[in-house]
Structures are given as C-alpha cells and as structure tokens.
C-alpha cells in the first residue's frame, strides 16, 4: 500500500531561496567593498602626491643644502 502525504515537497524551493539569499548577500558585500574603495581613492591619491613630492623635491633639496 502507498502512503499518501499531505505535506508538500518544498526542498527545491528552499534550495532556490537559499541560493538567492547567498547571491544577494554576496552582491551587497561587493557593493560595500567598492564603496569603501571609492571613498579612500582621493585620500590615497593625495597621500601619493605628497610622498612623491617629498622623495623627488624636498629630500634632494635638503641634501644639497647640507652639502651631500
């Protein structure tokens, strides 16, 4: 005799929902990382210019003034 169940088989739906949730969290994490990189871009660019100015102009000027 075959047992008939009145409970629906929703394992496929649960798996699809879990996959969608994982994908949405992954996209949100990537978006937050991209926003953080964009917010630090200008500060890093300014810091790089200051460091280049220090290494190319100021240190040789001080060395020339001291007679090295």
- Tens digits of per-residue pLDDT, 44-54? 899 999 999 98
Domain count, the chain: 1
In a domain, 24, yes or no: no
CA distance 58 to 52: 9
Tell me, yes or no, whether 22 lies in a domain. Answer: no
* pLDDT confidence bin for 42, thresholds 50/70/90: confident
- The 3-state DSSP composition of the chain as helix, strand, coil percent (nearest 5) reads 80, 0, 20
Tell me, yes or no, whether 48 lies in a domain.
yes
Examine residue 12 and state whether it is found in any structural domain, yes or no.
Answer: no
Whether 13 maps to a domain, the answer reads no
Domain membership of residue 49 (yes or no) is yes
pLDDT value for 37: 87
The confidence score (pLDDT) of residue 28 equals 95
Q: Is residue 20 predicted with pLDDT exceeding 90? A: yes
Does residue 15 lie within any of the structural domains?
no
| pTM to 2 decimal places | 0.51
Range of the structural domain that residue 61 is part of: 29-68
Confidence at residue 39, expressed as pLDDT on a 0 to 100 scale: 86
Identify the residue with better confidence: 48 or 4. 48
């Amino acid at each position: 005799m075959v047992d008939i169940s009145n409970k629906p088989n929703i394992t496929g739906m649960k798996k699809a929902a879990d996959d969608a949730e994982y994908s949405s969290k992954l996209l949100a994490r990537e978006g937050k990382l991209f926003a953080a990189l964009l917010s630090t871009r200008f500060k890093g660019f300014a810091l790089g210019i200051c460091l280049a100015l220090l290494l190319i102009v100021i240190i040789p000027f001080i060395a020339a003034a001291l007679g090295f």
